[in-house]
Structure formats: C-alpha cells, structure tokens
Amino acid sequence: MSVEVVKVTRRGQTTIPKRFREALGIREGDELLVELRGGALVFRPIPKLVDLIGVDADYGDPEEVKREIEKLREEY
C-alpha cells in the first residue's frame, strides 16, 4: 500500500499527491466521490461519460439501442 503525508489547510483543503493523481487519471476540474468508510476517507474518481463509451458493447447492438431510444421518445 502506498502512503504519503499531506497537510490540511485552514479551509479544509489538501493536495492529492501527483503519483496518485497520475495513477488514477485525475486532472484539474475532475470531480471525486468522498466516502467515510470505517474511520477512513476514501476518494474515488467519478468516470466521465465519454470514458464509458463502449463499456457495454458486449451486451447489445448499437442499432437496437437507437431503435429503443426512438421508441421511448415516441411514447414520451
């Protein structure tokens, strides 16, 4: 497990060390989920929609999805 010491500013801010940001692909402006888990703070990057393109490609046909979306639009 990698461990580093960071300081918290008077406004409650800290810096995520560069090697952790790079390992997780965290960039300026990214949003993170923060969770209190068993006395520890856990930070997780929120995936961007563009990063999820094709994630379910094995589970459906794009043309089928388009047809289903059009059907739902018509019903709406």
> How does pLDDT run across 15-30, given as a tens digit for each residue?
999 999 999 999 999 9
Structure tokens that stand for 63 in this block: 């043309």
Q: How many domains does the chain have?
A: 1
Within a domain: 66: yes
Within a domain: 28: yes
Within a domain: 37: yes
Question: CA dihedral in degrees (61, 63, 69, 70; nearest 10)?
Answer: -160
Within a domain: 69: yes
Helix (H, G, I), strand (E, B) or coil at 33: strand
Within a domain: 10: no
Q: Give the global pTM.
A: 0.62
Within a domain: 50: yes
Amino acid identity, residue 41? Answer: L
Please give the C-alpha separations between residue 13 and each of 10, 50, 64, 67, in angstroms, as whole numbers.
7, 28, 47, 47
Within a domain: 42: yes
Within a domain: 58: yes
Ordered mean pLDDT values, 10 residues apiece, the chain (76 residues): 92 96 93 95 87 76 85 90
What residue numbers bound the domain in which 57 lies? 18-75
Q: What's the pLDDT at 51? A: 75
